Amino acid sequence: MTKYSILTPTGLDEALELLEKHSGNIKPLAGGTDLLIDFRYGKPAPEFLLDITCIPELNRVKVNGDIRIGPATNLTDVSQSNEIKSWYAMLAEGAGCVGSYQIRNLATIGGNICNAVPSADTAPPLLAADASVKMRSKAGERTMPVAAFFLGPRKNALQPGELVTEIELPTLKERTGSIYKRYTHRKALDLAVVGVAVQLTLTPSLEIENVAVALGAVAPVPLRVEAAEKLLVGNPYSEELAEEAAELAKKFAKPISDVRSSAEYRQKIVRVFVKRSIAEAHQRAISARSGE
Amino acid sequence: MDILKIVNKRIPNIDGKRVVTGQARYTRDVKLPGMLVGGILRSPHPHAEILSINTERAKMLPGVFAIVTAADTPLKPYIYLGGTHSDRLPLAHKRVRFIGEEIAAVAAVDARTVEKALELIEVSYKPLPFVLDPEEAMGPNAPLLHENKERNISAYGSRIFGDPQKAFAEAAVVVEGSYETQAVQHCCMEPFTCIAQFSTDGQIDLWASTQAPFYVQKEVAHVLDLSPNDIRVHEVRVGGGFGGRSKVAELEAITTLLAMKCPGRPVKIALTRKDEFETRTVKVPMKIKLRTAADREGRLLARWISIISDNGAYNHCAPSVSAVGATMSYVMYRVQNVYAEHYTVYTNKQTTAQMRGYGEPDTVFAIEAQMDEIAGKLGMDPYEVRMINAIDPDETLINGWKITSCGMKESLQRVAEAIRWDEKKRAKVPGKGVGIACSIHGTGGRWYPDGDYSSSNVKVGHDGVVIVETGAVDIGQGIRTTLAMVAAETLGVDIEQVRVISMDTATTPSDMGAFASKTAFLGGNAVRDASLDAKGQITKYAAEILQVPQEELEIKDGYVWISAPLPERCAPIGDFVLDNPSRIGRHIVGKAFWESKTTENFNRTTGYGNTCETYAFSAHVAEVEVDEETGHVKVKKIVAAHDVGLALNPTIVEGQIEGSIAQGIGFTLMENHTWDQQGRVEATDFKSYRIPSIGDVPKMETILIEPIDPAGPYGAKGVGEPALVATPAAIANAIYDAIGIRMTSLPITPEKLHKAIKQNRIQQDTTPDHP
């Protein structure tokens, strides 16, 4: 059995202190739903784990025009936050479909992005939302778009001594709708074969003013399909247009074949799910209440 | 029949509280002083000669207590009761035939030492060519796995009834097809665990997650040259079976062997889920060729079936699973002309064996596909074709099976009503469909010579507590509750008065084990008879004490009653157990050995004979919705009607049926145990081997058809396996109804169905006369 000590800082400064002190020998621990399983399967553990869930400021959703999510917020809280549900339905949906109830009660949004597996369910929604990631170390603070945060499977942009301190979602315009749809072989407790997030804003005359199409599980990192977005912007929604955008997404996706699915089938699913997601996001944008 | 007070009622499981609060003791919970950890060295090759095994370095490692190899065994193959089929040693000797085969075992102070010791054992191999596909294995160039087994055929059987050739020639309609089913894991909640303890007086104590402790006792004795009664298999809770814990496995023998090397130090071997997936038995995969003929009215005329079963590297029960699978072609529906054959073929993979349904879900998948095709060709409704050919009560089938009670037609009627079959067939919605399928399954049976019995003791204490001793095993199916109910009902006591002691080979009377859907039937009959015996003894004493004729005494609510002239309550039954208050330990002991009376030993050559005392029937309908763009099948609803005889406990019976439906959905749509081209198991955990989650299991409606069976305890039949048989066929038929595509191989994964939909479109587009 692997042995390690768990450190429980009470504030962010103390946490950063510890990170620096034990640099190279410490890892942040949030829900542990990925980390501890890695250890159980024989991956070497560091000497120290830094439990960030006991730092109050990292553990909540703050709403003040924009939405700021602490990385240690668990996925149940993310999926049930009223603000996230009404402004970023796709993120609530992404967070709400990870694992099972028990897992979501432990797993955190910060852990989901820092672990950076291609199939992470909160990644496409954050990408489509143009979210940014705030990071801090003893040396200072920096912020980067979430798209730059993912470097590859299980690789993120954090430097040693750095901790994700906030995930920021911008304020949205009215007539915006979003959705996260994922394809899995079974309904729950499964990894996405393909994950699609679409966020779409309409003009008062119902043309597509702004749209984001993001894909998970089809490349080493989650991707935005800019070609599809460009095609959609400025046009009113139509089924044909969505089909065309979906076809572009399919061509853009570079999935691999594995035990779960062949690459070819994944591409087909991308097409079907992008088409459906655009349609549903559009529906939601139409029925969205005007922003107060 | 008198009004039942306990049997046929929804009595809560008597062990329920213990199990859900973690107080029930499974093998893994057994902790013995000085217990050592056992581990196994397994073959990395699918097929190789073992040139040498050197354990010297491992033996020197501090903390290692014992190392065993084939050299420590008398080299007697197990599955002793399989007779000539026995071909496997508990530890490989000179040759390994699949990746994961057991070569050596170590007992040491802790898991880390075991691991190190296993690394220090030096084995040199000469790899041999291997074969993974059974059809290839039958070919001329395939490497042979076993001596004297030409073309790698372990077992072959064929049957002919009537004149199939003539019947096919004269038929109005003939359909034929090839079908394929996959290997499936049993997925017991508790991974296999065994503990063995050897004492210097020669006695061996075993704790094992097994479905059949009396088999384990016999087999371990056989392979290690011991006397069966030197081995005692103790009572534990068993966390699931489904056929994967049936009869004996190599591990009980290996653990015992290790324990014998270190007297007084118990040894525990606990498999991980990965070990289970990679090395234990899986369901027999089958390649089935089937042909069916019918007349213009849809009456079946003839069947022809040929099965090639993948046996894996050694025999377990696959040869008889194949035979039972083939039998379905002529017993599910009335048919007079049959040719059936089955091959069970060795490949360099882990052993395949029985799983809930025993080959029936596989062949029924093919048979029921063809029932629908016949209906289609004749312009008939699938329901109608089934009703025409369904079995009736008191009918003798072509193979000599004597049907007594039979609710097959009623099952069909009830599921059709429940799903509103006619309405759904008339108002077709594209992408949505309904499918129907049936099953027949023998309860128990003389599949082994004279192996259709159970026995029980029922003791009554002076405090009125009734102790039921049974060799039966509760593997989660609730048999302890069911048997307690039978005892309480028969004796006339409350269920709270009854305790059950089960599966202890030293103290409980013999029982074959929890397989063949027979425990409630055989065990129930034995417990009923033993309870009647105890009751007779109590009323006899009471008659002497009360000075009334015995016939006028009754037991009700735990009291002895005088029935005439007016019912009068006398005293609690315990009062009549204790003839002298100073003899505090006295019990009344009722005994029974119950054996089926009308059955004949299974004839492996002819397949003829009434093997089972009774047969259970079912019909399932599935309603599905197919996403044609992704190939995803959503099962919307399953209605299952089962002729279970009298349901001893309807809640338990429904639990069996609902669990089977869930398992059946996994088998049909998701589960696939596969090997890569090197013979390595691909999915070794539940992340990649998917079984249904609660979200994948639809609304289930169970309908119990309860004809009183003449031979069953209170009229009951077995339900454990029948419940799984019809589900895959019903779902596959519903998919056809939804989108017009006939899937002939399992599992029907979205990817596979998607491919079939695409191919179908291409075909339609290129067919010139397509409307």
Mutate to test the interface with A, among B273, B277, B629, B691 (most CBs of A within 10 A): B629
How far, in Å, CA of A97 to CA of A112, rounded? Answer: 12
**Distance between CA B738 and CA B431 in Å, rounded?**
5
The pair of structure tokens assigned to B607 is 């397949």
Asked if B687 lies within 8 A of A191 by C-beta distance, the reply is yes
Q: Are B659 and B653 in contact (CB under 8 A)?
A: no
From A185, A188, A189, residue closest to B750, measured CB to CB: A185
Chain B nearest CA to A200, separation (Å): 24
A217 in Cβ contact with A118 (< 8 Å)? yes
Give the end-to-end CA distance of chain A in Å, rounded to a whole number.
54
Task: State the average pLDDT over residues B586-614.
Answer: 90
CATH architecture label of B32-126+189-279: Alpha-Beta Complex (3.90)
Residues B309, B138 contacting (CB under 8 angstroms):
no
β-pair type (A48-51, A5-7): parallel
Instruction: State which residue of chain B sits closest to A268, comparing Cα positions.
Output: B630
Chain A contact for B439, CB < 8 A?
no
Residue partners of B530: CB distance under 8 A and separation at least 6? B455, B456, B457, B458, B468, B487, B590, B591, B592
Q: Quote the pLDDT of residue B771.
A: 42
**Cβ–Cβ pairs < 8 A, chains A and B:** 36
Select the residue from B630, B691, B696 to test the A interface by mutation, using most A Cβ atoms within 10 A. Answer: B630
In A, minimum Cα distance to B676 occurs at A259
Residue A154's region, left for phi above 0, alpha for psi from -120 to 50, else beta, is left
Distance to chain B for A10, nearest Cα, Å: 36
pLDDT (average), residues A9-16: 95
Q: Using a CB–CB cutoff of 8 Å, tell me whether B272 touches chain A.
A: no
Question: Given an 8 Å threshold on Cβ–Cβ distance, is A187 in contact with B695?
Answer: yes
- From the centroid of its chain, how far is CA B676? 27
Neighbours of B605 (CB within 10 A): 8
Q: Which of A185, A268, A272 sits opposite B670 (nearest CB)?
A: A185
Q: Which of B687, B693, B754 sits opposite A187 (nearest CB)?
A: B693
Distance CA A28, CA A113 (A): 13
Cβ pair B348, B100 in contact under 8 A: no
- Structural domain boundaries in chain B: 16-23+453-595, 32-126+189-279, 282-447+601-764
pTM of the entire predicted model: 0.96
Residue B453's beta-bridge partner residues?
B595
| Chain-chain contact of B630 with A259 (C-beta, under 8 angstroms) | no
| Structural tokens at position A141 | 């603070």
pLDDT for B584 equals 54
Q: How many CB atoms lie within 10 A of CB B230?
A: 15
* DSSP reduced 3-state for B234: coil
The answer, yes or no, to whether residue B658 has pLDDT greater than 90, is yes
CB neighbourhood size of B585 (10 A): 7
- Residues 713-752 of chain B with CB under 8 A from chain A are 749-751
DSSP state string for A10-71: SSHHHHHHHHHHTTTSEEEESS-TTHHHHHHTTPPPPSEEEEGGG-GGGS-EEEESEEEE-T
Beta carbons of B630 and A272 less than 8 Å apart: yes
What are the tokens at B63?
Answer: 């903390």
How does residue A42 score in pLDDT terms, banded at 50, 70 and 90?
confident
Phi–psi pair at B376, nearest 5 degrees: -60, -45
For residue A21, give the CATH number of its domain. Answer: 3.30.43.10
A117, part of any domain: no
Average pLDDT, chain A: 94
Reported confidence tier of residue B171, pLDDT bands at 50, 70, 90: very high
Q: Which residue of B has its CA nearest to A192?
A: B687
Angle B722-B725-B731 from CA coordinates, rounded to 5° = 140
Contacts of B687 in chain A (CB under 8 A): 191
**Strand stretches in B313-392, DSSP E:** 337-346, 352-353
Least confident span in A18-22, A49-53, A257-261: A257-261
Q: Is the pLDDT of residue B767 over 80?
A: no
Using DSSP's 3-state secondary structure scheme, residue B204 falls into strand
Residue A238 lies in a domain: yes
Q: Shortest CA distance to A184 belongs to which of A171, A196, A199, A202?
A: A196
Residue B768, pLDDT score: 59
Instruction: Please choose, from the candidates B259, B350, B343, B252, the residue with its C-alpha nearest in 3D space to the C-alpha of residue B680.
Output: B350
First to last CA, chain B: 62
The shortest CB-CB distance from A186 to any of B630, B690, B754 is to B690
Q: Token pair 């990870």 is at which residue? A: A98
Task: State how far the Cα of A134 lies from the Cα of A159, in Å rounded to an integer.
Answer: 12
CA distance A269 to chain B (A): 6
A-chain CB neighbours of B754 within 8 Å are 265, 268
Interface check for B670 against chain A (CB to CB < 8 A): the answer is yes
pLDDT at B769: 54
Is A265 in contact with B688 (Cβ distance < 8 A)?
A: no
- Cα–Cα distance measured from residue B253 to residue B102, given in angstroms and rounded to the nearest whole number: 12
Contact B688 A259 (CB under 8 A): yes
Residue with tokens 């400021």: A57
Q: At what angle do helices B479-491 and B524-546 cross, to 10 degrees?
A: 30
Residue of A nearest to B672 (CA): A259
Question: pLDDT band at B607, cuts 50/70/90?
Answer: confident
Number of domains in chain A: 2
Residue A262 has its nearest CB partner, among B694, B696, B751, at: B751
Q: How far is A23 from chain B (nearest CA, A)?
A: 30
State the smallest CA–CA distance between residue B288 and chain A in angstroms: 26
**Residue A79, domain member (yes or no):** no
Edge-to-edge strand ranges of the sheet holding B553-556: B553-556, B559-562, B568-572
> Out of A183, A189, A259, whose CB is closest to B693?
A189
Helix axes A239-252 and A263-287, enclosed angle (nearest 10):
140
Residue in B673, B751, B757 to test binding to A, most A beta-carbons within 10 Å: B751
CA distances from A225 to A181, B1, B446, B568 (A): 16, 73, 65, 86
Cross-chain residue pair A190–B690, CB shorter than 8 Å:
yes
Which pLDDT does position B770 carry in this prediction? 45
- Segment B701-728 shows an average pLDDT of 96
> In angstroms, what separates the C-alpha of B627 from chain A's closest C-alpha?
11
For residue B697, which amino acid is it? V
Q: Quote the distance between the C-alpha of residue B44 and its chain's center.
A: 30
Q: Does B582 touch chain A (CB under 8 A)?
A: no
Nearest chain A residue to B684 by CA distance is A259
Question: A187 to chain B: nearest residue by CA?
Answer: B695
**Residue A265 to residue B751, Cβ atoms within 8 A:** yes
CA-based nearest distance B35→chain A, Å: 19
Report the candidate in B653, B750, B757, B751 with the shortest Cα–Cα distance to residue B696: B750
Do the domains spanning B16-23+453-595 and B282-447+601-764 agree at the CATH topology level? Answer: yes
Q: How far apart are the C-alpha atoms of B255 and B359, rounded to whole Å?
A: 30
Position B422 scores a pLDDT of 96
Q: How far apart are CA B255 and CA B250, in angstroms?
A: 9
Look at residue B580 in the predicted model and tell me its pLDDT.
55
Longest dimension (CA), chain B: 97
Q: Alpha helices of chain A — where are they, by DSSP H? A: 12-21, 35-40, 75-80, 82-87, 89-96, 101-106, 109-115, 123-128, 146-149, 226-232, 239-252, 263-287
Q: Pick from B306, B22, B69, B304: which is nearest to B163 by CA?
A: B304
Instruction: Decide yes or no: CATH 1.10.3720.10 for domain B282-447+601-764.
Output: no
pLDDT on residue B129: 98
Mean pLDDT score, B623-644: 97
Cα torsion B713, B714, B718, B719: sign = negative
Residues in chain B with CB shorter than 8 Å from the CB of A261 are 751
CB-nearest to B696 from A183, A187, A261 is A187
Could you read off the pLDDT of B287-341 as tens digits, one per residue? 999 999 999 999 999 999 999 999 999 999 999 999 999 999 999 999 999 999 9
CA distance B719 to B726: 13
The residue in chain A having the minimum alpha-carbon distance to the alpha carbon of residue B753 is A265
Q: How far apart are CA B115 and CA B102, in angstroms?
A: 15
What letter would DSSP give residue B645?
A: B
Mean pLDDT calculated for residue range B650-661: 97
Looking at the partner chain, which of B682, B690, B694 has a beta carbon nearest the beta carbon of A185? B690
Pinpoint the alpha helices (H) of A152-212: none
Rounded-to-integer distance, Cα B228 and Cα B195, Å: 17
Closest by Cβ to A188, choosing from B683, B693, B750: B693
Q: Decide if B693 and A186 are in contact by the 8 Å CB cutoff.
A: yes
Question: Is the confidence at residue B202, as pLDDT, over 50?
Answer: yes
Position B247 confidence tier, pLDDT thresholds 50, 70, 90: confident
User: What CATH number is attached to the domain comprising A235?
Assistant: 3.30.390.50
Residue A142 C-beta-side C-alpha neighbours within 13 Å = 13
CATH number of B16-23+453-595: 3.30.365.10
Whether residue A131 contacts residue A159, with contact meaning beta carbons closer than 8 Å, is answered with no
> CA-CA distance, B211 to B244, in Å (whole number)?
8
Interior/surface letters A44-53, b for 16+ CB within 10 angstroms, e for the rest: ebbebbbbbb
What is d(CA A286, CA A176) in angstroms, rounded to the nearest whole number? 8
Q: What is the pLDDT of residues B542-586, one digit of tens each?
A: 998 899 999 999 999 999 999 878 889 989 999 888 655 555 556
Return the pLDDT at A142.
98
| Domain coverage including residue A27 | 1-52
ipTM of the complex: 0.93
**Per-residue pLDDT tens digits for A79-138:** 999 999 999 999 999 999 999 999 999 999 999 999 999 999 999 999 999 999 999 999
Q: Which residues of B touch A188 (CB under 8 A)?
A: 693-695
What kind and span of H or E run contains B530? helix B524-546
What pLDDT does B2 receive? 62
Is residue A292's pLDDT more than 50? Answer: no
Would the pLDDT of A11 be above 70? yes
Residue with more model confidence, B462 or B274 = B274
